[in-house]
Structure 1
């Protein structure tokens, strides 16, 4: 099968023929992967070796892919042939010659029937991480499926942070996660949603629900205080720079991890007493809410992907589109025979 293969960090990225690994358990389904999206954050960090943990190169890239079930293992009960399943990818090479950066940019992969494993009394450690494998209903276009990953995890984070009716929210960043936080906040009834970002992206952020937009080079234009602040960038000083805009009792959530181990926070920059959110998110818990959101028009795929469609052979063009900031999440047609 064809796959996007990363030889070394900061090294060669290519389309390579690799041997499809066999399914690992009787609870696994083989899937054909029709679509995936490139995550400028995680995928970009893998390509340039900037994650705060080590990745096992060489590897097959991709963590925002959906798969169409083409066969099921003998113990599978909750997936059937034809189901579209979120958050799939290939497993690592059977001979150990290559690993995965979640493996979503491969023509074939697997999903695991974690519900059946749970029902059969298997240890939670064997199935808990596969709760991300959930069925996307037929009325949701397959092209939208890759966005479930970003939307599920950011909605979980949004709700756990306490954003809801009347919240005054400040978002740092204008990438895919920031756009998701805007759409969620509007859906949950936030009173103000102000974004600090690149001037070129103001239009799509306003369309998704931002009530205010400030160029990151003009922070002096911000005169208000906010109940909640989400830093989707995580640069060394990106959270520190917005401390003056925290209301007393505010919560700061640092979602980005660009400079995770070098973050600066200088309390003298604010007179507010505030909390740093140290919780996380649970991506699977919001799956049904994202389905409902697509059905209600709360999320439009093209806000993230635009109208362009790339293939594995034009993957470098998609990376260039990210580098030029033309697209937020390029959509990749991974397996042209899958639907």
Structure 2
């Protein structure tokens, strides 16, 4: 299938139009017309080769919403016209213990096949993501978009949403839970909305009080300013879970004492080093520092259904495909509230 996308051709070059071939449908494949694609920090880091190992040309995009165009002969769950979504992964072995548990993102057998920049399990060709008119994906990794979700705002649920939702489910957040969210960007604003939707008491942790109105509007009960030493002292041992969405190296030391006994600070933002921290607060109250990646397919479908029932949507700014480089520049300086989504309408007409 011939298609057109936008690709990074080098770490220091802007994304430009890129014509390429999607594979012919395998028996278990679904061909999708891409309607919307979220812009994620992972797209930016990969295009810039910030983590090393990027193979160019790179077509980013792993927050994808579209409609089914065609299905392979063995596909049973989807038909042409269905509203569907694809997230961070497009394949896995499906036979290891973790895949069988619905944790495909943790596949043990040669790892997960990511939506872009990853070798295809059959051909070895590099996968290309959702900054394109079309996508071809194995049926098992296609998600159904339930009625009640706005297609134009659902895309960020496929990465930011599930990355925030997965730790909330892992640590059994619900009514009575006391959750703090550190950082109020793309991930953080979803963590606030989802924790509130699950019935938790939600606090936003921020350096100052400048984001208080935004935090309350998103569903938080309060904001705690980390620069206020007296307020931080009063908040000691007051949270069961802290979701740390800060995407850069930072100091965890001020936040660990805020956890109650057996509380957990879970990192979902920074991939890499953090500042040296004091272990005494961990040992003294059986507190934990943990990490959490994206969720599996079953959990992601659960998230989509939950958001449809609760009318939870990311706060999005729609951009045209040709505005992607401007969006990348704004993302680098945190000039977005809270997620960019590419509207493919004009691009599809080309």
Q: Partner of 1:165: helix, strand, or coil?
A: coil
Residues 195, 213 of structure 1: 8 Å contact kept: yes
Change (3 A) 1:113 1:207: same
Partner of 1:84: 83
Deviations 1:151-174 (A, max 9, x none): 234212211023222222222111
Summarize the alignment of residues 315-334 of structure 1 with structure 2, pairs less than 5 Å apart: 315-322=324-331, 323-334=333-344
Partner of 2:178: 168
For structure 1, the residue ranges without an aligned partner over 5 or more in a row are 115-129
Change (3 A) 1:21 1:253: same
For structure 2, the residue ranges without an aligned partner over 5 or more in a row are 88-114
Partner of 1:56: 55
CA RMSD of aligned residues (A): 3.1
Partner of 1:17: 18
In 2, Cα distance between equivalents of 1:200 and 1:3: 39
The answer to whether structure 1 residue 143 and structure 2 residue 143 are counterparts is no
In 2, Cα distance between equivalents of 1:321 and 1:198: 22
> Which of 121, 132, 138 lines up with 1:106 in the alignment?
132
In 1, Cα distance between equivalents of 2:248 and 2:330: 22
Deviations 1:251-278 (A, max 9, x none): 12111224x2455332146643312335
In 1, Cα distance between equivalents of 2:346 and 2:143: 22
Residues 149, 307 of structure 2: 8 Å contact kept: no
Residues 34, 336 of structure 1: 8 Å contact kept: no
Residues 264, 287 of structure 2: 8 Å contact kept: yes
Partner of 2:66: 67
Partner of 2:267: 254
Deviations 1:52-98 (A, max 9, x none): x633232101111112111112222211001121116689899x9x9
Change (3 A) 1:164 1:219: farther
In 1, Cα distance between equivalents of 2:46 and 2:225: 28
In 1, Cα distance between equivalents of 2:275 and 2:16: 36
Aligned length: 311
Partner of 1:6: 8
Deviations 1:225-246 (A, max 9, x none): 3221121125433323312322
Residue 329 of structure 1, CA deviation = 0.8
Residue 294 of structure 1, CA deviation = 2.7
Partner of 1:309: 318
Q: TM-score, normalised by structure 1?
A: 0.80
Q: Partner of 2:44: helix, strand, or coil?
A: helix
